[in-house]
């Protein structure tokens, strides 16, 4: 396969490149990334000599078509997205521009150049949220009810993918995933944010709704699921990728503080951001029964290993701290 990985210098995109390179060494990989604040070449340091890299925007149709032609791409895996819910509240336009129009541009480039497969990475958040005491999970037929600009922009991109499948018969698949964690995640997201702040003995900002919870999936398990869909998934289908493991923001903070032997006093309650979703949970029956995928990384061990990685790799994340455009502790102080 000759795979164009959009968002290849981001968290999940770079993890996918590392994984695919190890599992399929004869395939050609092209990382395609515009290198925004959350994209860094440091995430590709171990594989950059074995892949091609194109610095370009997914909203640039000419650049996309050139890359597809130059490298003879037969598969596009579309990770590229603005993904930080808090930033989307401050600057929603950039999310709709990148996530909706960027995806449509890549779809059009793939259609024009006859790409044989377009796989799109989506999120559980397109379905809205669940009550904390809900007894069901979202399945692939659940209605879309996004509640925030980020969620809505990802929902829009999913609709564009399905439209290109139905209208132009572009061979597509979609995966909706749970919250990912693991190495090389930009330190604006909650697990690396808490880990890097705890390492520096700085307060961990917990939203006031401390029992709101998320389903947590290790990024390597996510990459294995995408592999299963690319190799065995049915064209035109959507597959959910989750672990079934839920944890609240307070449980995450407690786990990180315990792993680093830091005091509970580092926890600091801050106002909820607007539109703060309560809970997400995905039903993964379809991918497990059809494709035989299931998560393999136990959550407690995955968190411990991730926190240890941040402790050992300050040279990667420390230069990124000043790039973050959002201060999570200031939602209620009039600055946002």
Could you tell me the pLDDT band of residue 331, with boundaries at 50, 70 and 90?
very low
pLDDT in tens, 81-135: 988 878 888 899 999 999 999 999 999 999 999 999 999 999 999 999 998 889 9
Name the pLDDT band for 213 (thresholds 50, 70, 90).
confident
Quick one: pLDDT at residue 210?
A: 80
Residue 44 near residue 9 (C-beta atoms within 8 A): yes
Task: Give mean pLDDT, residues 210-221.
Answer: 92
Token readout for 269 is 């309650």
- How does the average pLDDT of the chain come out, rounded? 94
How high is the pLDDT of residue 153? 97
Report residue 329's pLDDT band, with 50, 70 and 90 as the boundaries: low
pLDDT of residue 330: 53
- Cα–Cα distance measured from residue 15 to residue 221, given in angstroms and rounded to the nearest whole number: 10
Selection from 28, 22, 122, 10 nearest residue 71 by Cα = 28
pLDDT of 256 reads: 97
Average pLDDT over residues 53-82: 97
Among the listed ranges 161-175, 206-220, 242-256, which one has the minimum average pLDDT value?
Answer: 206-220
Ranking 49-53, 128-132, 263-267, 313-317 by mean pLDDT, the lowest is 128-132
Same fold, 2-181+217-241 and 190-213+245-278+298-328: no
Q: Is the distance from CB of 238 to CB of 175 less than 8 angstroms?
A: yes
Cβ pair 6, 79 in contact under 8 A: yes
Tell me, rounded to whole angstroms, the distance of Cα 178 from its chain centroid: 9
pLDDT tier for residue 327 given thresholds of 50, 70 and 90:
low
pLDDT score of 40? 92
Dihedral, CA atoms, 12, 16, 22, 27, nearest 10 degrees?
-150
Q: Could you tell me the pLDDT band of residue 215, with boundaries at 50, 70 and 90?
A: very high
Distance (Å, rounded) from C-alpha 47 to C-alpha 198?
Answer: 30
- Secondary structure of the chain in the HEC alphabet? CEEEEECCCCHHHHHHHHHHHHHCCCCEEEEEECCCCCCCHHHHCCCHHHCEEEECCCCCHHHHHHHHHHCCCCEEEECCCCCCHHHHHHCHHHHHHHHHHHHHHHHHHHHHCCCCEEEEEEEHHHHCCCCCCCCCCECCCCCCCCCCHHHHHHHHHHHHHHHHHHHHCCCEEEEEECEEECCCCCCCCHHHHHHHHHHCCCCEEEECCCCCEEEEEEHHHHHHHHHHHHHHCCCCCEEEECCCCEEEHHHHHHHHHHHCCCCHHHEEEECCCCCCCCECCECCHHHHHHHCCCCCCCHHHHHHHHHHHHHHCHHHHHHHHHHCCCCHHHCCCCCC
192 within 8 A of 320, measured Cβ to Cβ:
no
Structure tokens at 334: 């009039």
Tell me what the mean pLDDT of segment 174-184 comes to: 97
Going by C-alpha positions, the residue among 84, 12, 6, 5 that lies closest to residue 43 is: 12
Can you name the CATH fold of 2-181+217-241? Rossmann fold (3.40.50)
Q: What digits encode the pLDDT tens for the residues 186-195? A: 998 999 999 9
Instruction: Please calculate the CA angle 47-27-179 and round it to the nearest 5 degrees.
Output: 60
What confidence tens digit (pLDDT) does each residue in 227-284 have?
Answer: 999 999 999 999 999 999 999 999 999 999 999 999 999 999 998 777 777 898 999 9
Res 328: pLDDT = 58
Architecture of the domain whose range is 190-213+245-278+298-328? Alpha-Beta Complex (3.90)
Distance CA 137, CA 153 (A): 22
Q: Which residue has the higher pLDDT, 43 or 85?
A: 43
What does the domain layout of the chain look like in residue ranges?
2-181+217-241, 190-213+245-278+298-328
The answer to whether 3 and 27 have CB atoms below 8 angstroms apart is: yes
């Amino acid at each position: 396969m000759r795979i164009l990985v959009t968002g290849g210098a981001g968290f999940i995109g770079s993890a996918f490149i590392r994984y695919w390179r190890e599992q399929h060494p004869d395939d050609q990989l092209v990382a395609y990334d515009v290198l925004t604040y959350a994209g860094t070449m440091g995430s590709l340091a171990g594989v950059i000599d074995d892949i091609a890299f194109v610095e370009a925007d997914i909203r640039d149709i000419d650049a996309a078509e050139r890359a597809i032609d130059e490298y003879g791409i037969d598969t596009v895996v579309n990770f590229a997205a603005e993904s930080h819910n808090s930033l989307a509240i401050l600057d929603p336009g950039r999310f709709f521009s990148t996530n909706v129009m960027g995806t449509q541009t890549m779809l059009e480039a793939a259609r024009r150049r006859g790409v044989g497969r377009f796989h799109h990475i989506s999120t559980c958040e397109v379905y809205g949220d669940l009550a904390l005491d809900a007894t069901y999970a979202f399945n692939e037929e659940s209605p879309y009810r996004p509640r925030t600009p980020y969620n809505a922009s990802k929902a829009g991109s999913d609709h564009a993918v399905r439209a290109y499948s139905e209208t132009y018969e572009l061979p597509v698949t979609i995966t909706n995933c749970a919250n990912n964690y693991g190495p090389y995640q930009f330190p604006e997201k909650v697990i690396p944010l808490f880990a890097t702040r705890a390492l520096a003995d700085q307060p961990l900002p917990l939203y006031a709704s401390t029992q709101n919870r998320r389903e947590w999936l290790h990024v390597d398990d996510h990459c294995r699921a995408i592999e299963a869909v690319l190799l065995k998934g049915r064209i035109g289908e959507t597959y959910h990728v989750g672990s079934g493991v839920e944890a609240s923001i307070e449980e995450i903070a407690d786990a990180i503080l315990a792993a680093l032997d830091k005091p509970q006093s580092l926890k600091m309650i801050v106002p909820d951001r607007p539109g703060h979703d309560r809970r997400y949970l995905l039903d993964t029956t379809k991918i497990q029964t059809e494709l035989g995928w299931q998560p393999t990384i136990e959550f407690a061990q995955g968190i411990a290993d991730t926190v240890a990685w941040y402790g050992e790799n300050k040279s990667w994340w420390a230069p990124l701290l000043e790039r973050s455009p959002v201060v999570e502790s200031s939602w209620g102080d009039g600055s946002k």
